[in-house]
Amino acid sequence: MKSLDVLIFLGPPGSGKGTQAEILTDKLNFTHLSIGDLLRENIVNNTELGKLASNYVKSGELVPDELIINLMDFYITELKDKNGIFGIILDGFPRTINQAISLENKLKQLNVNIKSVLNLDITNQKILKRLAGRGREDDKPELIKNRLKVYRNQTEPLLEFYSERSLLETINGDQSEADVSSAIINVLKAEVA
């Protein structure tokens, strides 16, 4: 049975997780699972999960762990057995310690390892500037500030969680897109060497 690697991208909203995940997806033949994209897709398609998640997303709050965990369990299990996929990049998941523990348990069940947790570190000033230019419904200034506060309170503790497991690598997200990509590739090469 082929081995499957999981990369986790952490970083505040607008840190470039989605952009970098797309670049790596092409280079490494990984599949990019963006929790934000999956939630928006479910909301647009008016699925049961989409209906439940919609109110949280509109207010800039995190969708409850149970909903997110069920959604990600489904996609990770589905991808585990697909041919030609060498890894999964998780973007926006896990967002809480509870989700991280659930993910660890799920991956153990599937006999899959976390290869690395990449934290894209970026200043609030740069985040606000980037997000203002995206024009998404959830990128209004007051929602951005709330999402950053939620990130700092609920997701930042994951940095210590993964650091204790010797999985965390921090990348300077204030650099250009190409420089961030190069830094990520160098970290991954160093781990393979």
Question: What does the pLDDT read at residue 34?
Answer: 92
Q: What is the pLDDT of residues 41-94, one digit of tens each?
A: 999 999 988 998 998 888 777 789 998 998 888 888 888 777 666 789 999 899
Q: What is the pLDDT of residues 117-137, one digit of tens each?
A: 999 999 988 888 888 787 777
The answer on pLDDT for 1 being more than 50 is no
Structural domain boundaries of the chain?
5-185
Q: Which residues pair with 7 in a beta bridge?
A: 89, 116
Distance (Å, rounded) from C-alpha 105 to C-alpha 109? 6
- Exposure letters 108-138 (e unless 16+ CB within 10 A, then b): eebebebbbbbbbebeeeebeebbeeeeeeb
In CATH, which superfamily holds the domain spanning 5-185?
P-loop containing nucleotide triphosphate hydrolases (3.40.50.300)
- The pTM assigned to this predicted structure is 0.86
Distance (Å, rounded) from C-alpha 155 to C-alpha 111? 25
The answer on pLDDT for 179 being more than 50 is yes
Q: How many other CB atoms sit within 10 Å of the CB of residue 103?
A: 21
Question: What does the pLDDT read at residue 19?
Answer: 92
Question: What does the pLDDT read at residue 145?
Answer: 84
Q: At what angle do helices 35-44 and 48-59 cross, to 10 degrees?
A: 120
Distance (Å, rounded) from C-alpha 77 to C-alpha 125? 38
Q: At what angle do helices 157-164 and 97-110 cross, to 10 degrees?
A: 40
Q: What is the pLDDT of residues 5-29, one digit of tens each?
A: 899 999 998 899 999 999 988 888 8
